[in-house]
């Protein structure tokens, strides 16, 4: 079980079960939402209990992003075709016990940083 929250504490969550290893996403939407790179883990649908008000933004035809309307913390990513929901690795309270599995959408990464060649990467 993992617990997390937004910056102001108005939104909290509990992720039950074993979360999937997080990935760092470098797509344009994730960079704009997070201000740099979005890192998230995931649990099966129904395994994430959210308390507090979450505002959802429909970021594409099939995906939405959840954030705290008070402090603006980006917390969740949910794609209607996936059997899981993602939560921000940076919003986890305390040690995570998780290890980054790699980088995705690196074809869209910003030009102001580098990713080590030794780290797993996927362009899309």
| Domain residue ranges in the chain | 2-122
Q: How much of the chain exceeds pLDDT 90, in percent?
A: 100
- Taking residue 27's Cβ as centre, other Cβ atoms within 10 Å add up to 17
pLDDT digits (tens, 9 = 90+) for 98-117: 999 999 999 999 999 999 99
Q: What are the structure tokens assigned to 104, written together?
A: 């995705």
Give the pLDDT score at 17.
Answer: 94
- Between the CA of residue 16 and those of 25, 39, 41, 81, what are the distances in Å? 23, 19, 12, 21
CATH class of the 2-122 domain in this structure? mainly beta
CA atoms 87, 40, 43, 15: torsion sign: negative
In the structure, what pLDDT confidence band is assigned to residue 56 with cuts at 50, 70 and 90? very high
């Amino acid at each position: 079980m993992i617990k997390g929250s937004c910056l102001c504490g108005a939104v909290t969550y509990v992720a039950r079960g074993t979360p999937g290893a997080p990935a760092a996403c470098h797509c344009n939407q994730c960079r704009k939402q997070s201000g740099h790179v979005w890192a998230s883990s995931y649990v099966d649908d129904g395994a994430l209990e959210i308390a507090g008000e979450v505002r959802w933004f429909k970021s594409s035809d099939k995906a939405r992003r959840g954030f705290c309307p008070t402090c603006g913390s980006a917390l969740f990513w949910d794609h209607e075709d996936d059997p899981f929901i993602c939560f921000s690795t940076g919003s986890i309270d305390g040690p995570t016990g998780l290890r980054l599995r790699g980088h995705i959408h690196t074809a869209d990464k910003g030009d102001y940083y580098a990713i080590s060649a030794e780290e797993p990467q996927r362009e899309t």
